[in-house]
Amino acid sequence: MKKLFSLFVLAMMVLVLAACGGNEEAAEGSENEGEASGETKTIRAGIGLNDSHPQYLALLEWKKIVEEKTDGAIKVETYHSSQLGDDRAMTEALQLGSQEVTIPSTAPIANFVPEFSVFDFPFLFPNEEVADKVLDGEVGDKFLGMLEDQSLVGLAYWENGFRDVTNNERAIETASDFEGLKLRTMENDLHLDAFKALGANPTPMAFGELFTAMQQGTVDGQENPIPTIYLQGFYEVQDYVSTTHHIYSPFVFLMSKEFFDGLTEEQQTIVTEAAVEAGALNRKLNREAVAEYAEELKAEGMNYNDVTPEARAEMVEIVQPVLDEYAEKIGKETVQEVYDAVAEAEAELE
């Protein structure tokens, strides 16, 4: 009898130890938790543009790479056309951990990290090649590092593109043509102040509300890159498009820091490298599209005019005091670092 009882106690001890060991494995942190339990991690990725835009096509490529390279350990759900909210709301959702990825322009990011406004300095980047060099280099990395204090991780820079003005009043030939225009801008104080200096009457608005505002005449116009103007059907509610090219607008591929930190090192490398690879596709598709979509806008009946370098130079002069004011706010050294990186990139590309 005694022997039987000892065997029973021994068996119970073995069972209890096995159960504790299993819990310890799962408790070592989410990186093992997932593997131990084999659960799939789900990424909710939302953007403001629609499903025909190069940004969304590149996001689908990112999804494909990540799901393949993680053998399905990570599943990506993609949402377009502000289905998960506007840029600011989606960025806040990443901070709260209720969404994992969004890819806003740098302009709304400046509401979280003010230094990002420097990338929206009018006429900062002379062309895409210089923008790529600066953003993908040391300076760009330094700015991505600033996101971590906001519970965000910046994985890569993508391309929104050179912004042009559309409106229903007149062609923008010179700076004086901005006078009195009710112009929608992104939610960024620098954009507002720069267009006020040009004589416009700017109003900040989430991207998802813009089409209706133009349709109802709440605003006379807006400014966005040609691919967005065409693919979002702005030609249906706008008469004039003028290639001011006043800002080169980067996107930043943002991930929730809480979610990123919960990935294994291998998964962190996969999502980051995939963001760079899909970003290259985004830039390629965006740049290939501009000339074609410009022709499409003319075919849709828009009055299309190219703004001359002289007119742009006049606009630069007018907005310069605004840039000097923001350089003080952001930090003159930080702004100078970006200017130096632009000059260095231009010299290297000559």
Question: 251 vs 326, which CB is nearer to ligand KDG?
Answer: 251
Question: 31 vs 51, which CB is nearer to ligand KDG?
Answer: 51
Give residues 266-325 in contact with ligand KDG (rule: CB under 6 A).
none
Question: 207 vs 260, which CB is nearer to ligand KDG?
Answer: 207
Minimum gap (Å) between residue 46 Cβ and ligand KDG: 8
> Does 105 contact ligand KDG by CB under 6 A?
yes
- Which of 104, 202, 227, 250 contacts ligand KDG by CB under 6 A? 104
Give the closest residue to 294 by CA, choosing from 305, 307, 310.
305
The one-letter code for the residue type at 348 is E
- Which of 99, 160, 188, 267 contacts ligand KDG by CB under 6 A? 160
The β-bridge partners of 202 are: 183
Q: In whole angstroms, how large is the CA radius of gyration of the chain?
A: 25
Give residues 162-221 in contact with ligand KDG (rule: CB under 6 A).
186, 207
- Which of 34, 48, 262, 279 contacts ligand KDG by CB under 6 A? 48
> Does 244 contact ligand KDG by CB under 6 A?
no
> Does 106 contact ligand KDG by CB under 6 A?
no
Q: Residue 255 corresponds to which tokens in the numbers above?
A: 């991930």
Give the closest residue to 316 by CA, choosing from 124, 118, 115.
124
Question: 49 vs 131, which CB is nearer to ligand KDG?
Answer: 49
Report DSSP state, residue 140.
H
Q: Residue 327 corresponds to which tokens in the numbers above?
A: 């350089």
Distance, CA of 271 to CA of 317 (rounded, Å): 42
Distance, CA of 112 to CA of 252 (rounded, Å): 13
Task: Name the segment binding ligand KDG (CB under 6 A); options: 33-41, 46-54, 285-293, 319-327.
Answer: 46-54
Task: Name the segment binding ligand KDG (CB under 6 A); options: 41-49, 71-79, 145-153, 254-262.
Answer: 41-49
Distance, CA of 187 to CA of 273 (rounded, Å): 30
Please list the helix, strand and coil fractions of the chain in percent, rounded to the nearest 5, in that order: 55, 15, 25
User: Could you tell me if 139 and 338 are in contact, meaning their C-beta atoms sit under 8 angstroms apart?
Assistant: yes
Residue nearest ligand KDG, CB atom distance: 48
Q: Which residues bind ligand KDG (CB under 6 A)?
A: 47-49, 87, 104-105, 160, 186, 207, 224, 228, 249
